[in-house]
Structure 1
Amino acid sequence: MASTSPQQPRLITLHFPNLVRVAGETIEGHVDLNLPLARKDGIETLQIELRGVIETQIYKRYTHTGIWYKEAVALFSSRESLWTTGDASNETSPDTFSCPFRFTIPDNLPPSFYHTCATIGYSLEIVGERSSGKKRRLCRFFPVTSAASHHQLLTKESLRQGWTGPWREIKRDQKIRQGLWGDYSHVSATLSIPELSFFPIATPIPYSLYIVTETKTLDRSESKNSLFPTPPTQSSKLTQVLRRTTDYRVRDCDTLFNDNIYETFDLQKAQGLADDTVECTPAVEAVVDEPEWVPRDKKDRGIWRRSARFTSTITLPFAPTFSSKTLVWQYMLQFVVPFPGMKNDLSLETPIKLGPGFACPPPRSSNLTYADVLPAGPAPSMLDLPPPAYWEKEEHDWDDEKHCI
C-alpha cells in the first residue's frame, strides 16, 4: 500500500463559513496561528481587517497600445488585533494560538456584485507583521446582500401569502402577416404583474400573460383550425428573459454593458429559487379559449379571435438594483411570444426594480431567534451574487503591495 505524506502545517488558518451575509449582521470566526512557523517566519503581530470596496476598470485603446484605467471606492474598513509576540492567553496547544474575532457589518451597504470589469467585494484580510518589514497576508472573500427594511419585509410576506393588491399591466400589439403580401392579422399581449415599486429578491413574483390573436377578414366558411395566426397553447413556446444593464465609471470614462443574465425558452423551466433555498419548478397554468367569430361589415365576413392565458411565478435571486457614482445596474424583464414568419414575434418588456428580501439576523448573544424577525429568516446560500468561484476563494500573498480585492 502506497504511503501518503502528512499534510504540511499551515502558518495561518482562517475558520469562517462561506455563507451569504446580510448588511448589519454580526459575524464571528477564529484564526489559528502556527507558533513555531510564526517564530521561524519572524511574525511579530497578527491583525484581521474587514473590508468592502467598489472596483471598476475600463480599457482604453490608443493607436499603438492600450491602458487599463482603474478606480476603487472604499465602502468601509474595520480592523482588530489578534496576537502579538509573547501573547499566550489563547494557546490551544504548544504549537497553536487560536484568535477569535467578531465584526458587525455596517447596515447601509450595497450588495455584492460581480461583472467582468466591475465588482462590489467584501473580504476578511489577515495581516502578519514581520520583523523583515514585509507582511504575510491571507484574504477570504464572502458575499453580502443588502438588509431589507420593515416595509420591504412586509411586501415580501404579501407576495408569499398570495398577492391581493393592485396589478400593473404592460400591453403590446402589432400587425403581422404570413408572407410578404396580403392582408394583415392582429396580435396583442398583456403582461400583468403586482403594482410595486420594487420586487424582493428570491421571492416568487406572480404574473399573468394574456395573448389574443385576430385573423385577417375572411369568409366564415374557411376552416378555423388552420387559420393564421394561432396563439401559443403551451408554455414551452414562450421565452422569458431578464436583462441587466451595467453602467460603470472610471474617472471621466464610462461604459454601458447589456447582458441577459437569465433566459428560458420554456416557462415551465423558469427560475424557481425561492427563499427556502430549495430549487423548485414553478407550475404554469394555461387556459386556452375557444375561437370566437366576430362579424364584420359584410354578410358571412369577419375574423376569428382566439386567446390564451398563462399564469405562474418567477423568482429572481439576483443582486438588488443599485446606483452609485461609479457603478449602476438595473434590470428589464421581457417576455417573447413567437409567431410564424419573419419579425412576427411579439415582445413585451418592463423595467423591474429588485429590492432586498432578507432581514438582518440578530447577534448570537441575543435571545431573539430568526423566527422573531418578521417575516423571513437568514438569507439563502444560493443567491446569485458573485459566482462561488469568486467569493469562496482564499488568497495568500507575500507581497506587501498587493490588494486582495
Structure 2
Amino acid sequence: MASQSTKSTDGPVTLHFQDITRVAGETITGCVDLNVALAQEDHLEHLRIKFKGTIHSKITTTSGETTTDHCQTIILFKEKIPLWDQGAAFPEPGSHILSCPFQFMLPENLPPSFHCQAYHRRSTISYALEVNQPPYPQNHLSHSRRPSQSQLLAKESLKQGWNGPWRDITKEEQLRRGIFGDYSHARVKLTIPDMPSYPIATEIPFSFRVETETKLMHVSDAPVDKHGKPLFPAPPALSSDVRLSLHRRAEIRVRRYTRHVDDDFRLNGSLGDVTRVAAVHQVSDEPEWIPACGPNDKKGHGIWKRAIHFQSAVAIPYAPTSRTEIIDWHYNLLVVVPFPGIGNDLRLEVPLDLHPGSACPPPPIGTPGSSSITYADVLPAGPPPVMLDLPPSYWTGEHHAWDADEKS
C-alpha cells in the first residue's frame, strides 16, 4: 500500500495526505485527525480544510532611486470544505481522536506546478491545502496537468521500445584551427522519435552522429599527426566529451511589463555524464581517405573523414510546456560538441514540447465511476519524477498559497 505523508503540529490537528504528484481532474482523498481534548484547550470550534491554486508573477522596475514591485495573481481555484463543528461529532469511547476524512476533485486543465526566478523577476504556479490556518498543518500539492489519450499512448510506445517514425536534425559548421588557413568541416546528426511532444520523466531513445573532415592535405599525412594525436578536427573520443543540456525560457508578464528567465539544466545519465559512460553505446568508424577530384586539385591530395556514433536515452524531469495568462515557458534540447580553437564548438539546438506522463488515476471508492480499490492502494508505476521546478520553500513550509486576508 502506498505510504501516507503526515503533516502535524504539537496542537490538536494532524493531517494525513499522500505526498505524490497529482494530475488535473484527479479526485484526491485524505484524513484529518482531531484531538478533541486538545481542541477544547485551544478553543477550536470549527475544522475546515482549504484547497487553492494560484499563479503569481512579480516584476520589479527601477527608475533612479525608486524601486517599484509590479505583481499580479490569478486564482485558479479555491475551495473550503467543512470537516467538523464543535458538538457535532465525538470520538469513539475511550479515545480523544476524531478522524475526519476529506475528498476533493481537482479542476481539469490546470497548469503544472512551476517556479522560475531571476534578478527582479519571478513567477510561481502553486497548489496547496491547509487545515484552518497556521499554525495548523499545511501541505503543498505537486501537480501536473492532464495528458491527452494520444500522449499517454506515446509514452507507452516509448516504454515498450519505440517502433514509430524517427526524425533527423542536422547541422554542419566550417572550422579553422587558427586565424588563417583552410577550413575543415564538422557535421552532427541527432535522430529522435518523430513526435509532436515528449512525455516528462520517460526515457527518450536517440542516436547522435559526429562526422568530421580535415582540410585538404597530402595522402602521406596520416589521420594522426607526428605526435600521434588525431588530426584536427577529431570527433569526440568518449560520450562524456559531448555536452547535453536543456534550456528553458520562461516569459513573465505583469500587465504592460514583460521579462524573461533563462535556465539551463544538465541532463544526467547520458551524453556528457562521466559517471554513466557505460550507459551510452558508441561505435567509431575507421578513418576514410577521400581523394580530391577537382580539376585544380593537386595529385595525391584529399581529406580524412572520421565519424563516431552514440546511442542512448534521456529522461527530462521538468514541468510540461505550458502557457498561462501571465507565465509561459518552452524548452530547447542543446547538444554541444567542443573542438579546439576559438568559436569552434558545434551547437545543435532542438525545440522540444514536453507533456505530462501520468494518467489521471481512477476515483476512490464511493464516487461515481469508482473501482473496487482506491488510487492510494496502488503504487505509481516507476519512481516519481524529480520535482525540480518548485522553490525550496515548498518543502520547508515557508511558502503559503493563502492571502493574508483569507487567514480568518
TM-score, with normalisation over the residues of structure 2?
A: 0.85
Residue deviations 1:193-221 (CA, integer Å, cap 9, x gap): 11111001111111111111111111101
1:155 equivalent in structure 2: 154
2:4 equivalent in structure 1: none
- 1:85 counterpart letter in structure 2: Q
Pair 1:111–1:368, CA change in 2 (3 A): farther
**Higher mean C-alpha displacement, 237-246 vs 360-369:** 360-369
1:234-245 correspondence runs (5 A): 234-245=238-249
1:313-392 correspondence runs (5 A): 313-365=313-365, 366-367=370-371, 377=380, 380-387=383-390, 389-392=392-395
1:126 corresponds to which of 131, 143, 147: 131
- 2:151 counterpart letter in structure 1: Q
2:220 equivalent in structure 1: 221
1:189 equivalent in structure 2: 188
% identical aligned pairs: 40
Q: Which runs of 5+ in 1 are unaligned?
A: 1-6, 129-134, 272-279
| Superposition deviation, residue 381 in structure 1 | 3.0
SS in 2 for 1:109: coil
2:207 equivalent in structure 1: 208
Q: Which runs of 5+ in 2 are unaligned?
A: 1-7, 226-230
Residue deviations 1:11-34 (CA, integer Å, cap 9, x gap): 322111321112222211111233
1:101 equivalent in structure 2: 102
| Superposition deviation, residue 377 in structure 1 | 4.9
Residue deviations 1:296-335 (CA, integer Å, cap 9, x gap): 1332111111111111111001110000110101101010
SS in 2 for 1:260: strand
Task: Answer yes or no: is the 8 Å Cα contact 2:36–2:98 preserved in 1.
Answer: yes
**Higher mean C-alpha displacement, 108-117 vs 345-354:** 108-117
Pair 1:383–1:185, CA change in 2 (3 A): same
SS in 1 for 2:259: strand
| Superposition deviation, residue 403 in structure 1 | 6.4
CA distance in 2, matches of 1:27, 1:270: 41
| Superposition deviation, residue 384 in structure 1 | 2.3
Pair 1:329–1:109, CA change in 2 (3 A): same
Task: Answer yes or no: is the 8 Å Cα contact 1:243–1:258 preserved in 2.
Answer: yes
Pair 1:143–1:323, CA change in 2 (3 A): same
CA distance in 1, matches of 2:277, 2:207: 17
Task: Answer yes or no: is the 8 Å Cα contact 1:230–1:306 preserved in 2.
Answer: yes
1:55 equivalent in structure 2: 56
Aligned residues: 379
1:286 equivalent in structure 2: 282
| Superposition deviation, residue 61 in structure 1 | 1.5
1:3 equivalent in structure 2: none
| Superposition deviation, residue 263 in structure 1 | 4.8
CA RMSD of aligned residues (A): 2.9
Task: Answer yes or no: is the 8 Å Cα contact 1:361–1:377 preserved in 2.
Answer: no
CA distance in 2, matches of 1:401, 1:146: 27
Task: Answer yes or no: is the 8 Å Cα contact 1:21–1:379 preserved in 2.
Answer: no
2:5 equivalent in structure 1: none
2:291 equivalent in structure 1: 295
| Superposition deviation, residue 254 in structure 1 | 1.5
Pair 1:186–1:9, CA change in 2 (3 A): closer
Task: Answer yes or no: is the 8 Å Cα contact 1:317–1:383 preserved in 2.
Answer: yes
SS in 2 for 1:76: strand
Pair 1:294–1:160, CA change in 2 (3 A): same
**Higher mean C-alpha displacement, 380-389 vs 119-128:** 380-389
